[in-house]
Structure 1
Amino acid sequence: MSTHGHAQSERPVSIAFSPCPNDTFVFDAWAHGRVPGAPALDVTFADIDITNGMAERGELDVLKISYGMLPWVLEEYALLPCGGALGRGCGPLVLTSGPMDPADLRGRTVAVPSERSTAYMLFRLWAAEEVPGDVGEVVVLPFHEIMPAVRDGKVDAGLVIHEARFTYQEYGLHRLADMGEHWEHTTGLPIPLGAIIARRSLGEPMLRALAAAARESVRMAWEDPEASRPYVLEHAQEMDPAVADQHIGLYVNEFTADLGEDGLAAVRGLLTRAAAEGLVPPLAGDALAFP
């Protein structure tokens, strides 16, 4: 393809999202050119800890990142009001190998999947209230290594996300606390999990086109769930199809189609509380506004 003239402006938009069922479900129609008039995509699959780093380095046009990462990248990227994940009843869990009270975590070692994630923020906000004197060492591990590490006694507790909600009993582990229940109980708001961000330098018309394409891709996935099935299962890393369906049911909801007032209030609420605890930089007043 020629690299001069108008062809340059038609280069695909580079995007990175995870191979998890909720992301492949949401982006299937768009990634396969079925969303009328949508910009073409050049897709990279990467887990959220990788995409968080890519965003920090300003590597791609569009990324799915953790809301916990958002304050660090808002200068270069705008938050799209759709395509992401907020939810109820889907928060991270703190798991231990045997029954324990939250107070028993004082001074103990806890494995977490990332220190720049919603999960970690929710954990810190919970621990500030429930663990007098605070936890001990925090160890960052890839999320698939956390449950085995707790089971094998390498760490005292683990903070888990994703489908670990459905599988932790298979490791013989105990649920010490549900960070989502704590958040929802104290705020009444949904949990901000994954954000879709786009480079501000793409310009307002392109940002609006990307938001419209994400919204339409979600709508098409809901209208014909079977259409996305091959893409979802191809990337679900041998996940049981029933678990993939649970995953989609949990993380793809009305907030995916549009953040709305409640969604934005949840994002602002989390990041404001986290900033007050010194976990993230404070937000500028209009930082979350969409062009």
Structure 2
Amino acid sequence: MKLTLGFSPCPNDTFIFDALIHRKIDTGGIAFDVQYRDVETLNEKAFRGELDITKLSYHAFAYAVNDYELLDAGSALGRGVGPLLIAKDPELARELQELLATAGKPTDREKNLKIGIPGKYTTANFLLGLAFPALQHKVALVFSDIEQALLDGVIDLGLIIHENRFTYEAKGLYKVVDLGDFWEQTTNSPIPLGGIVIKRGLDEQLKLTVNRLIRESVQFAFAHPKSGLDYIRSYAQEMEEEVMYKHIDLYVNRYSEHLGTEGRRAIQEMFDQARARQLIPPTDKRLFLTA
């Protein structure tokens, strides 16, 4: 049996899935046809129901929940791992920091700022809306292009994710706010970034088997962290090994092995807040594959 599987080329995903797709664990005859795409492209594929199993942002999951349900294994949640809003102008960064701290009313100038985001349906954009609801002039860019667009003056602010957390300062850019910290302070929950979902219509036992295999792949990666080094490096945007493993350490943790009660609570909190603000459509579908 072959199943289509989509995930990003970022180090956290290739670290998680290395053992699975290279059969370092026993997959029981299940093969995987892998598609490597950025998160927003994976989100769009999920909206069209194109893949059997896929990584997507938790924000996007709200729009794909009728066709997919969430696996316990493979997720990216954590503390201190959220997206960052950054600026080229340090004065603008300070101005927005003060606005957030005082819950002040934005000026017309601030409302007209152009923000580069890694996709409309990313969790990063959802968190930006919670922190700065008045900032609506957004331009969707490939996440790896946002820093350069900011440096070139194409945008006023950039919303960065993944390994760009480790590169923006060296390029002379300034942090406005860590939106992960903002979420944690307001909810006391880890930040749900991305999860692995599977088609609802697949056989129930097969879905449970895939969940188990992804968990075993994560466990193999934890036990043999350098096993997939060449594979991870071949897809990483930043080639330095230290940067790749910093990225992995941030996004792959105990929630990647199993969401657990705390992880599920954080995801439910995100859905509840989004529904309360009418940011996502209502649904009567269960979110999680297992009870």
TM-score with structure 2 length normalisation?
A: 0.90
SS of the residue 1:116 aligns to: coil
Greater shift in the superposed pair: 148-157 or 14-23: 148-157
Q: Which amino acid aligns with 2:281?
A: P
Comparing 97-106 with 162-171, greater Cα deviation is found at 97-106
Distance 1:262 1:124 in 2: 24
Counterpart CA distance in 2 for 1:238 and 1:175 is 20
1:6 maps to what in 2? none
Q: What is the alpha-carbon distance in structure 2 between the residues aligned to residue 28 and residue 93 of structure 1?
A: 28
Deviation readout 1:135-155 (Å, 9 max, x if unpaired): 241111111221122222222
CA shift, 1:189, in A, is 0.5
- Structure 2 matches for 1:10-89, cutoff 5 A? 10=1, 12-38=2-28, 39-89=30-80
Q: In structure 1, what is the Cα distance between the partners aligned to 2:258 and 2:136?
A: 39
| Matching of residues 264-283 of structure 1 within 5 Å | 264-283=264-283
Q: TM-score, normalised by structure 1?
A: 0.90
Alignment-derived partner of residue 178 in structure 1: 178
Offset from partner CA, 1:69-99 (integer Å, 9 cap, x none): 0011111111101112111101111111122
Q: 1:125·1:274 contact (CA, 8 Å) conserved in 2?
A: no
Check the 8 A contact 2:238/2:244 in 1, yes or no: no
Aligned to 1:3: none
Residue 249 of structure 1 is matched in structure 2 by: 249
Q: Is the 8 A contact 1:272 1:282 kept in 2?
A: no
**What is the deviation of 1:225?**
1.2
Q: Give the partner amino acid of 2:127.
A: L
AA in 1 matched with 2:117: V
Paired positions, count: 276
- Per the alignment, in what secondary structure is the counterpart of residue 24 of structure 2? coil
* Pair 1:285–1:161, CA change in 2 (3 A): same
- 1-structure distance, mates of 2:243, 2:178: 20
Structure 1 residue 238 displacement after superposition: 5.1
Q: Percent identity?
A: 38
Structure 1, unpaired ranges of 5+: 1-9, 129-133
The structural deviation recorded for 1:252 is: 0.3
State the SS of the aligned residue for 1:225: coil
Gap change, CA 1:212 and 1:154, over 3 Å in 2: same
Unaligned runs of 5+ in 2: 100-105
> Is 2:101 aligned against 1:96?
no
User: Which position in structure 1 is the counterpart of 2:116?
Assistant: 111
Rounded Cα–Cα distance in structure 2 between residues aligned with 1:80 and 1:285: 14
Whether the aligned pair in 2 keeps the contact of 1:82 and 1:196 (CA below 8 Å) is: yes
Alignment of 1:152-231 (within 5 A): 152-231=152-231
User: Which residue identity is paired with 1:106?
Assistant: K
Distance in 2, Cα, partners of 1:238 & 1:244: 7
**What secondary structure is seen at the aligned counterpart in 2 of 1:154?**
coil
Distance 1:178 1:166, change over 3 A: same
The 1-side partners of 2:285 and 2:205 are apart by 23
